[in-house]
Amino acid sequence: QVQLVESGGGSVQAGGSLRLSCAASGYTANTNYMGWFRQAPGKEREGVASIYTGRVYTGRGSSYYADSVKGRFTISRDNAKNTVYLQMNSLKPEDTAMYYCAATSRWVRSPLAEAEFADWGQGTQVTVSS
């Protein structure tokens, strides 16, 4: 099992930036994907971005984004630190949500699908004001 701890959330004005961090601990050796999901009040949790963190070359793309954040958000990893980051630029009020980090050892078919991920963090709040 993998433990995940998010940090970096906060309140910003529209157009601002935040960087979220997700530190993984525990049995991380078999983790293949880590991702960020978000849930706004009254809405379902949705995939934001995910990244391949395995050590086997797959020939596939390594990062995936929801259409709503493409060009604004960037996911990256530091395998040495077992940490994944989400750089969020040009933030909009509709980005306001609780952001969750997730991990899986599966070879996922849908890298932004909640059901593909087994381990979850507690979340960090992001609030964007207009």
pLDDT in tens, the chain (130 residues): 899 999 999 999 999 999 999 999 988 888 899 999 999 999 999 999 999 988 776 655 589 999 999 999 999 999 889 999 999 999 999 999 999 999 999 888 899 999 999 999 999 999 999 9
List of residues 6+ apart from 56 with CB closer than 8 A: none
Output the pLDDT for position 93: 97
CB atoms within 10 A of CB 110: 11
Output the pLDDT for position 101: 98
